[in-house]
Amino acid sequence: MKNKLISAQEAAEKIKSGSSLMYGGFIGVGTPDAIVDEIVKRAPKELTLIGNDTGKPDKGVSKLIAAGLVKKVIASHIGTNPQTGELMGKGELEVELVPQGSLAEKIRAGGFGLGGVLTPTGLGTDVAAGKQIINVDGKDYILEKALKGDVAIISGSIVDKAGNVYYKGTTRNFCPLVAAAADVVIVYAEKLVEVGEIPPENVMTPGIFVDFIVEGK
Amino acid sequence: MDAKNIIAKRAAKELKDGDIVNLGIGLPTLLTSYLDPDLDIIFQSENGILGMGDTPEVGKEDPDITNAGGAFVTVKSGAAFFDSATSFGIIRGGHVDVTVLGALQIDEQGSLASHIIPGKLVPGMGGAMDLVVGAKKVIVVTTHTAKGDAPKILHRCTLPLTAYKKVNRIITELAVIDCTPEGLVLREINANTTVDEVKRLTEADLIIPEHVGRFE
């Protein structure tokens, strides 16, 4: 079995300037703060962030934005981190707002071999602008194209050494989706266990999606 | 009782036994204070919960169990957690009975603007656009007017739309208004106001039926 264990510093080295970084997390819950901190230290530039929101000032990916490492954000909600809106207003940060369910499906499609999804969400609003409208059996849908990332970082409550992940509570959110949609996937293991310790039916992200594991402190 | 509590108290009456309900952040969440405890209502939270419970006691918070506003919550017996694709499958797939959202503007077509004031306030739509499309009943709760009695219920929304022709009912501290294909129908008014006063504070045209109910 491949040894997937790396340090948080080594994880941060996987994120190059100009790359698209997907992340699990809902207002920071499910985002690996320890890896975010190391990315801040390493300071790659011109990142594109893809995730539900931009955390809040003390939690989640907000520190990447505060450090000036981010060129563009694709998210559904930026209200919990006021700095994102401020930088957007000043023209220093490009923000693409996507309805949350559409964002989840765009990422899912990216990971699961689909070109996109057809959704009624956003019809008649600015979200539909410039997008293809497809009529299926008399109903209109927006074509939302798939999204992929260069690297994804997620948190796992229990992770085995093969990278199988179990998520506790509401930490799951976007984690299983981004884990499938990025080329390089790094999981932060809140608790690291031996292979076989997570019952197969409790595995929520199969280890094949995970390239690297950072053991939590 | 202040306007928000009057709204929450009246809006709580909309929820029926067995309903699956998603409440927006802020004013909609206040509804839970006025619910009949005998009703079995399943609350959905778009970050991945069916069966959301109350706020935990101080000291008993679980950092891994939060609501869509990022606050600590509890879950009821029989609750389920899931990922965001499943969560919005539940929402978009028509499995949520009622969604209650706040508003910046609502109009005669049943359209809603709630997620952006260009150049000023840009929180984003979050899950609202999926909720208004997927929920069987869309209820908007809002103060009847903005600052200085500026109407929020308009002929046409001027802000970017969050929902296009999707709102079913508007509940304010002054009135209960249904959005119908014919236009906005005044169903009830607060016992302390008059139909004329509601009309004065509403820019949109209101259809006034023969019987208009009263609420406290």
Tens digit of each residue's pLDDT (9 = 90 or more) over B29-51: 999 999 999 999 999 999 999 99
Q: Enumerate domains of chain A plus CATH numbers.
A: 5-114+147-215 (3.40.1080.10)
Question: Which residues of chain B lie closer than 8 angstroms to A172, CB-CB?
Answer: 48, 81-83
- pLDDT < 50 stretches in chain A: none
pLDDT given at position B136? 98
Question: Which residues of chain B lie closer than 8 angstroms to A122, CB-CB?
Answer: 129, 133
A174 to chain B, any CB pair closer than 8 A? The answer is yes
- DSSP 8-state secondary structure symbol assigned to residue B57: P
The pLDDT tens digits of the residues spanning B144-199 come to: 999 999 999 999 999 999 999 999 999 999 999 999 999 999 999 999 999 999 99
Least CB–CB distance from B88: residue in A104, A126, A171? A104
Contact call for B129 and A26, based on CB within 8 A: no
Contact call for B125 and A78, based on CB within 8 A: no
Bin B105: left if φ > 0, else alpha if -120 < ψ < 50, else beta.
beta
pLDDT given at position A1? 84
Q: Helix, strand, or coil here: A106?
A: helix
pLDDT at B206 over 90: yes
Q: Helix, strand, or coil here: A46?
A: coil
**Min Cα–Cα distance to chain A from B110, Å:** 12
Contact call for A28 and B70, based on CB within 8 A: yes
pLDDT given at position A6? 98
Which chain A residue has its CA at the smallest distance from B119's CA? A89
Beta-carbon contacts of residue B6 (< 8 Å; ≥ 6 apart): B173, B190, B216
Most B CBs within 10 Å, among A27, A80, A107, A125, to test the B interface: A125
Residue indicated by tokens 């070109």: A115
DSSP state string for chain A:
----EE-HHHHHHT--TT-EEEE--BTTBT--HHHHHHHHHH---SEEEESSB--BTTBTTHHHHHTT-EEEEEESB-TTSHHHHHHHHTTSSEEEE--HHHHHHHHHHHHTT-SEEEE-TTTTSGGGTTSPEEEETTEEEEEEEP--EEEEEEEESEEETT--EE--GGG-TTHHHHHHHEEEEEEEESSEE-TTSS-GGG-SB-GGG--EEEE--
B46 is catalytic: yes
Angstrom distance (rounded) from CA A39 to CA A21: 11
Question: Which residues of chain B lie closer than 8 angstroms to A123, CB-CB?
Answer: 133, 164
**Min Cα–Cα distance to chain B from A17, Å:** 27
Contact call for A125 and B164, based on CB within 8 A: yes
**Min Cα–Cα distance to chain A from B128, Å:** 7
**Min Cα–Cα distance to chain B from A54, Å:** 11
Bin B156: left if φ > 0, else alpha if -120 < ψ < 50, else beta.
beta
The pLDDT tens digits of the residues spanning B88-134 come to: 999 999 999 999 999 999 999 999 999 999 988 889 999 999 999 99
Cα-Cα-Cα-Cα dihedral of B164, B166, B169, B173, to 10°?
A: -40
Which chain A residue has its CA at the smallest distance from B88's CA? A101
The pLDDT tens digits of the residues spanning A156-184 come to: 999 999 999 999 999 999 999 999 999 99
CB atoms within 10 A of CB B27: 21
* Selected residues 32-71 of chain A with any CB under 8 Å from a CB in chain B: 52-53, 56
Contact residues, chain B to chain A, C-beta under 8 Å = 45-49, 62-70, 81-85, 87-88, 91-92, 111, 116, 119, 121-130, 133-134, 160-165
pLDDT given at position A217? 86
Angstrom distance (rounded) from CA A11 to CA B43: 38
**Min Cα–Cα distance to chain A from B108, Å:** 15
Q: Enumerate domains of chain B plus CATH numbers.
A: 3-215 (3.40.1080.10)
Question: Which residues of chain A lie closer than 8 angstroms to B90, CB-CB?
Answer: none
pLDDT given at position B104? 97
Strands A158-160 and A192-193: parallel
Q: Chains A and B: how many Cβ contacts under 8 Å?
A: 142
* Catalytic entry in B46, B108, B173, B188: B46
pLDDT given at position B22? 98
